[in-house]
Structure 1
Amino acid sequence: MVEQVFDRPRIWRIPVELPQNPLRTLNSYVIQTPEQNLIIDTGFNRPECHASLWAGIEELNLDLGKTALFLTHLHSDHTGLVYDFVQRGVPVYTGRIDHTYFASTVTGTTWSDMEERYRHEGYPAEGLALQAGGNHARLYAPQGVYPATLLEGGEILHVGDVSVQAIHTPGHTPGHMVLYLPKEQLLFSGDHILFDITPNIAVWMGVDDALSDYLSSLEKIRSLPIRKTFPAHRGQAGDVYQRIDALLEHHQHRLAEILDAVETYPGSTAYELAGHISWSARGLGWDQFPPNQKWFAVSETLAHLYYMERRGKVAREAAGEVFVYHII
């Protein structure tokens, strides 16, 4: 079950099952040294994920007394089991921005504010209700705001004699962080760079232009010397620089596709425009999309529309209670 993916330092991959989720598994990594261990990400807060993760930890015979946990970002498939570690006294590290945002979903009105925002972008009320009832991010989140050492980006964590740098890479989430080993030139990319699938770039409360943030973060990582990359989902094989180029090209193609949809269907809402875009959904039509996938598709459409609006390519106009889009 546990796979060794690097020798010096010893790095292990624990595949954590994500049931009924298109991501299938989370790659939870362990950096192991004689003095200290670091676990990266956890899986959802549900029994199947707990079983997968802890079977791996037990197989490695990790001493939790000399182990820390790092969470790359706020999504529940990465943070859900954090209290497994908090309750055992394991120190937790994560980015301040995402920790604060997660806290706002627990103690504030972030979820309802997002739903209202989507309603104004044309998302039907019944669709929002379906999405809320089956949203894995909400159903399998940590049971509350968890204690953690909060990072801004640039900090060096020491795992035995291994130096690990936290780097802020906003885009996929506002406070997403990757981990970089400068001496070994290794990158734990979280969901910032995936090789077999494309990270979702969504809209966030308090973030003006998530897509621009993401593209800038890709360029930031491109500037690093990287020998090997360990992504949070799917396969690990691939040249990271070629993958960055492919991701940049993907978003240019997506921008062009959405711009063409706005020109072809002027006066459409973001929800309607999302239905005219090509998505990787196993041949399903827009009306057949599962609620979670439809939410992500609309959110990614919005991120690209906002990017183009800020650059004077599309106009967003009120039409009653919803916004519609036109070519400028």
Structure 2
Amino acid sequence: MMGYDIREVLPEVFRIPVPLEGNPLKELNSYLFRGSREAKQRNLLVDTGFRTEGCKKALLKGLGQLGVSMEDTDILLTHLHADHSGNAPELIRPGGRVYISREDYRFMDGTLQEHRSERFRENGIEESLLQAMLACTPSRTMAAPLSFRDYTLLEEGDVILAGRYTLRAIWTPGHTPGHFCFEVCGTGAMLLGDHVLFDITPNITDWWDVPDSLGNYLRSLDKLEAYPVTLPLPGHRQAGDMKLRIRQLKEHHKKRLADCLRIVRELQHDPVKKPCLYDITGCMKWKIHCDGWDDFPPAQRWFALGECFAHLDHLKQEGLVREVCGEHGVHYEPVEK
């Protein structure tokens, strides 16, 4: 162990903890691949934290302890979420590259929340709640500024040099449409971003032109099972047994889909609640310390509603529910076979 809880996970590869103040995730795992000055290798920093002074100071402190300057460092982003990408424009120096997937890049034009808000309205979410949720989303205040567009765009299979290592891009859509994991070739290590987390479940939400985010996520889990990963490097918290965790995540979503379908069926006959997005979400089980659904903080309701959308979308793709537009907004009905 080094100072500031920096850990060397592979020779010349270091995990730097970046505090996420006020966020339930608590920390981001940023990874630094340190190049050799003698060999004129550039360093590579993987994920950067929110666009806040606290995240920036923590990263620069960690880099300083490792004797690394951003003047000789490129940045690799596993996906677009603000806790991973927000600080990149603040940190990068002239001549440096910021890598992100081409698919995620197209969602970084400032219209994502607008599209999601419109879908929430169509599903009967009250405007007061919508505005309260929007005010809490990290993309409003802690994401990379829209004026920064100087990204190097990645595709499936692209290779990046990182010090003595070679990274290969693996497209794993689900958590975001363009989420990438990166195989550290020849080592058994893999950078996971938020695709596989070991003591929390990655949030899978809807995306405005993606018909089935959850289906994409489950197929991406299948894809990663084929890799012999012995050193998983997640974007948050601690690592664990990769194949076991993939099985657990699949089982989690299998149970949640069954629960969601059961709720849709039961709400068809409920005298008070309706089979709409808000009430279906409120009937689902969530690991949060609140007295009830209406007591969820606005930020947590935003994530819960999005996750419910993803499960309803998957049930629609599987032909198990249908979306019905009525005068009071969208509601859902089971399709009995």
Aligned residue in 2 for 1:146: 149
Aligned residue in 2 for 1:270: 277
Residues 49, 85 of structure 2: 8 Å contact kept: yes
Q: In the alignment, is residue 59 of structure 1 matched against residue 59 of structure 2?
A: no
> TM-score, structure 1 length as denominator?
0.95
Give the residue type in structure 2 aligned to 1:99: Y
Q: Distance in 2 between matches of 1:326 and 1:300?
A: 18
Aligned pairs for 1:1-328 (under 5 A) are 1-8=4-11, 10-34=12-36, 35-103=41-109, 105=110, 109-144=111-146, 145-236=148-239, 238-266=240-268, 267-328=274-335
Residues 70, 92 of structure 2: 8 Å contact kept: no
Q: What SS class does the counterpart of residue 106 from structure 2 fall into?
A: helix
Give aligned pairs, total: 322
Q: Residues 251-273 of structure 1: CA distance to partner in whole angstroms, max 9, x if unpaired?
A: 00100110111111125111110
Q: What SS class does the counterpart of residue 48 from structure 2 fall into?
A: coil
- Relative to 1, partners in 2 of residues 1:284 and 1:56: Cα closer, same or farther, differing over 3 Å? farther
- For structure 1, the 5+ residue unaligned runs are none
Give the residue type in structure 2 aligned to 1:41: D
Q: Distance in 1 between matches of 2:224 and 2:123?
A: 33
Q: Distance in 2 between matches of 1:313 and 1:246?
A: 23
Q: Distance in 2 between matches of 1:122 and 1:271?
A: 8
Deviation, 1:221, is 0.7
Q: What SS class does the counterpart of residue 262 from structure 1 fall into?
A: helix
Residues 82, 146 of structure 1: 8 Å contact kept: no
Give the residue type in structure 2 aligned to 1:181: V
Deviation, 1:2, is 4.1
Q: Distance in 1 between matches of 2:327 and 2:312?
A: 19
Percent identity of paired positions between Structure 1 and Structure 2: 36
> TM-score, structure 2 length as denominator?
0.92
- Relative to 1, partners in 2 of residues 1:5 and 1:284: Cα closer, same or farther, differing over 3 Å? farther
Deviation, 1:86, is 3.1
Deviation, 1:321, is 4.2
Q: Residues 213-247 of structure 1: CA distance to partner in whole angstroms, max 9, x if unpaired?
A: 000111111101111101011112x1100000000
Q: What SS class does the counterpart of residue 294 from structure 1 fall into?
A: helix
- Greater shift, 70-79 or 317-326, is seen at 317-326
Q: Distance in 2 between matches of 1:206 and 1:277?
A: 25
Residues 95, 152 of structure 1: 8 Å contact kept: yes
Aligned residue in 1 for 2:271: none
